[in-house]
């Protein structure tokens, strides 16, 4: 017969054994995506004139990535890379989708499985809020790509003040004009049904995100929320009270831009407040970043980086980013190693214990352990960027601390140590010619894996691109003029 001490020991052993086989609680995942946010336009990343207190609190208690890269220097392809974990060039999505009335029902190929679908199949409640820009017809709609709920607009942008854009929309309809033309003034929608938004759009998207968090917290499953704000993307429209927060900014463009960023920061604060109120804050991984670099003509700043949205210079696709997860992600100054938005797919999938059946070969890597330990997640592995212009392509290849750059119509390459020289001012190609040659060769191999574009961003040169560049698309990749936009 067991005595009391032996019985207690046995019970502890049983509990320990059960605990060893118990599955760890899977975290909630919240992605907060800004649109065209400049590298230095948040105070946790160096801004001296725009204050972002809610973002700063999260960043201070998480890990800031100083060498984070979007998948592409433009909105649509960047989002395609985020959702698929693959370079958009691999499946013909290297251009922004045309607006709906010109797109002919185009969208990201349905045989590319989105991270939302992977998480949904893994038992997550999945929500998308805000800008989509990945296809507007039913087969490409968020609800068809793995999101249980969606609130937002499916195009590439939207006006911010409801009382203004609704009036313009109704006036256009009254004149008998085709409603699909008006990408920026069409009503927002909830799961395919039009809704009448009543708040400044950034505030409205924050409200809906908070409501979905509340809904998710009442379910017996983890959740994935993709909150894709359009701020501070054009049109440049800020609330007077938000601009008033920056009396020292005299430049009008910068002041409007600052007000839009401040509204975005307020939205982040509302999301965090709801996570706490719902008891989900401690077990939620929050990832914040921008879809590409800031658009400097509209008031953004990418300092100290050179370039702007659309460039393969650092300012075009190196973005502010942080990870925040209490008691999991360390609160440290910075993570200096390279991280790509492509890495989020495998990182999230592994956190969810997901089955990746049906997922094509990913270009990203699971970075969680490396971030926690402050280690390089991809030593010796390159991250690529390519932007097609009319008649040539800009290319960037980042490996560890070095970056090979081809920028402009001349067949010239530079090499920079972007850890020491983030402004790309000291060309080291003469000092390390072998390294530059290796990086160029890697870019060539990568480029030969690209698919021909499935669409073009239609503008004054779009049809010329199709007529002149397409016949030469697969002739060679010798870094001479061959592509266009």
Options 75, 89, 388, 450, the catalytic residue: 75
Options 72, 89, 133, 324, the catalytic residue: 133
Please report where in the chains the tokens 């990203």 appear, as a residue.
364
| Bridge partner residues of 335 (DSSP) | 65
* Number of C-beta neighbours around residue 353 at 10 A: 11
Instruction: Put residue 400 in one of left, alpha, beta given phi > 0 → left and psi -120 to 50 → alpha.
Output: left
Please state the φ and ψ torsions of residue 34, each to the nearest 5 degrees: -90, 165
133 catalytically annotated: yes
Cis peptide before 135 (omega within 30 of 0): no
* HEC sequence for 218-276: CCCCCEEEEEECCCCCCCCCCCHHHHCCCCCCCCHHHHHHHHHHHHHHHHHHHHHHHHH
Contact (CB, 8 A) for 338 and 400: yes
**Whole-number Å distance between alpha carbons of 143 and 152:** 12
DSSP 107: B
**Whole-number Å distance between alpha carbons of 484 and 462:** 8
141 catalytically annotated: no
Cis peptide before 485 (omega within 30 of 0): no
Helix/strand/coil for 11 = helix
Among 304, 300, 283, 284, residue whose Cα is nearest residue 292: 300
**Whole-number Å distance between alpha carbons of 315 and 39:** 7
> What are the percentages of helix, strand and coil residues in the chain, rounded to 5?
35, 20, 45
Enzyme catalytic residues: 75, 133
């Amino acid at each position: 017969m067991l005595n009391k001490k032996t019985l207690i020991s046995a019970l502890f052993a049983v509990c320990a054994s059960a605990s060893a086989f118990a599955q760890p609680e899977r975290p909630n995942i919240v992605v907060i995506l800004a649109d065209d946010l400049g590298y230095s336009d948040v105070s946790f990343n160096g801004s001296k004139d725009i204050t972002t207190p809610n973002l700063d609190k999260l960043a201070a208690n998480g890990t800031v990535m100083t060498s984070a890269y979007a998948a592409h220097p433009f909105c649509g392809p960047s989002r395609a890379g985020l959702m698929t974990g693959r370079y958009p060039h691999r499946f013909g999505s290297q251009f922004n989708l045309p607006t709906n009335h010109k797109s002919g029902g185009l969208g990201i190929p349905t045989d590319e499985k989105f991270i939302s679908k992977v998480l949904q199949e893994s038992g997550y409640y999945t929500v998308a809020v805000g800008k989509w820009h990945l296809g507007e017809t039913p087969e490409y709609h968020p609800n068809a790509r793995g999101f249980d709920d969606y609130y937002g607009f499916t195009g590439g942008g939207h006006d911010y003040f409801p009382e203004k854009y609704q009036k313009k929309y109704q006036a256009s309809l009254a004149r008998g004009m085709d409603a699909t033309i008006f990408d920026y003034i069409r009503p927002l929608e909830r799961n395919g049904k039009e809704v009448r938004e009543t708040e400044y759009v950034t505030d409205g998207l924050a409200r809906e995100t908070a409501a979905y968090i509340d809904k998710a917290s009442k379910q017996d499953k983890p959740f994935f929320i993709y909150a894709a704000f359009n701020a501070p993307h054009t049109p440049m429209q800020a609330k007077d009270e938000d601009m008033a927060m920056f009396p020292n900014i005299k430049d009008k463009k910068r002041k409007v831009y600052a007000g839009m960023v401040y509204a975005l920061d307020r939205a982040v604060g509302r999301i965090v407040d709801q996570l706490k109120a719902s008891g989900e804050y401690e077990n939620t991984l929050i990832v914040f970043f921008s879809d590409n670099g800031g658009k400097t003509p509209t008031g953004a700043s990418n300092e100290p980086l050179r370039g702007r949205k659309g460039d393969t210079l650092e300012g075009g696709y190196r973005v502010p980013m942080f990870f925040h997860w209490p008691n999991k992600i360390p609160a440290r100054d910075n993570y200096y190693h390279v991280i790509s938005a492509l890495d989020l797919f495998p990182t999230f999938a592994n956190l969810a214990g997901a089955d990746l059946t049906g997922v094509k070969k990913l270009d990203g890597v699971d970075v969680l352990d490396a971030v926690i330990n402050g280690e390089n997640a991809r030593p010796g592995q390159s991250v690529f960027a390519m932007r097609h212009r009319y008649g040539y392509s800009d290319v960037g290849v980042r490996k560890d601390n070095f970056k090979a750059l081809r920028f402009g119509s001349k067949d010239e390459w530079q090499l920079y140590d972007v850890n020491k020289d983030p402004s790309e001012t000291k060309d080291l190609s003469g000092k390390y010619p072998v390294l530059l040659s290796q990086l160029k060769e890697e870019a060539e191999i990568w480029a030969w894996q690209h698919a021909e574009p499935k669409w073009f961003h239609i503008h004054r040169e779009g049809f010329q691109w199709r007529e002149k560049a397409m016949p030469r698309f697969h002739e060679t990749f010798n870094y001479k003029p061959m592509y266009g936009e």
